[in-house]
Amino acid sequence: MPEALIRHDWTRDEVAALFALPFNELLHRAHGIHREHHDPNAVQVSTLLSIKTGGCPEDCAYCPQAARYDTGVQAQKLMEVDAVLARAKAAKAAGASRFCMGAAWRGPKDRDIPKVAEIVRAVKDLGLETCATLGLLGDGHAQQLKDAGLDYYNHNIDTAPEFYGEIIHTREYQDRLRTLEQVRDAGLKTCCGGIVGMGETRAQRAGLLQALANLPEHPHSVPINQLVPVPGTPLGNAETLDPFEFVRAIAVARILMPLSIVRLSAGRQQMDDAVQALCFHAGAGSIFYGEKLLTTGNPDTEHDRALFRRLDLHAMEVVEEAGTVHADIMEAAPASCGHGCGCGVAA
């Protein structure tokens, strides 16, 4: 697509009009854009590990790791390098090309960054792409992570700017934008998306995707999460979003950000295979492998392999060539391979 057509000036009315298209028309447009810029039968596979679980001081209404909510999640310290490395090796054996690491912090302290950097270097040495989601970054943190070999930094904006205050009170929307700016300035790739099904209106879902598409650079990865209600959180009894409305969100994200990888993220365990197939057709080109996302469930690896075979999809593998790392295409791993056991925040 010519550079001039990669837009950062979408209006709310334009995005709302996309959501309002007849379902088949919307999917037709989205799939055409997806096919133009991506292999429609290839899916980037990531595994997510919580390297520091629970005890977060934030009050995100969806999150079971917030210390103020009684969800049964116990606070744990940052994992040791060898323990993370064992999980990363298992994830790679199961077919993952990217290893994402999440820590339940408001943001890392200066003393935490060298420890995380050591973990990043060890995982990177396995030939995996690396991603981290650690919360708000301080001065110099993004550059230190970049120097350690981090490829992606995840920091979701979660929802539309006007709905944000209904979900989170302990950090401002602008705080998230500042961290994303630091990540871009350090030369890291951004992974940034949001959550739908938190009680927002369709207009507010349009606002989320408008905000993502109008960032100074489109995120390289755009995770679209469907809320997984967790008892004990303020959204524990949230009404389930119509699955076709979720597919619409995937399709609109694909149209607004043609070159980004749209990730079908949290909530897949609650979706049947037909809905997931519609999401892939609408432009989703990435998933998480593994039985757990942070503290919530995810389809097991064998189920995903079976779904890939039924849909004639294949996974992408990271290969190293002349000192560079890039995604290549591989056939889905055979059913006899071991499972990757990723657990971490949906990124």
Active-site amino acid positions: 56, 60, 63, 100, 131, 191, 263
E strands, 16-97, are 42-52
Backbone angles phi, psi at 129, to 5 degrees: -70, 150
Backbone angles phi, psi at 261, to 5 degrees: -90, 115
Q: Are 347 and 156 in contact (CB under 8 A)?
A: yes
3-state secondary structure 205-256: HHHHHHHHHCCCCCCCEEEEEECCCCCCCCCCCCCCCCHHHHHHHHHHHHHH
User: Could you give the angle at the alpha carbon of 279 between the alpha carbons of 44 and 29, nearest 5°?
Assistant: 105
Beta bridge partners of residue 130, listed in sequence order: 99
Going by C-alpha positions, the residue among 213, 317, 237, 230 that lies closest to residue 269 is: 230
Q: 173-196 in b/e burial notation, b at 16+ Cβ within 10 A?
A: bebbbebbebbbebebbbbbbbbb
Torsion of CA 107, 113, 119, 124, to 10 degrees: 100
Beta bridge partners of residue 158, listed in sequence order: 194
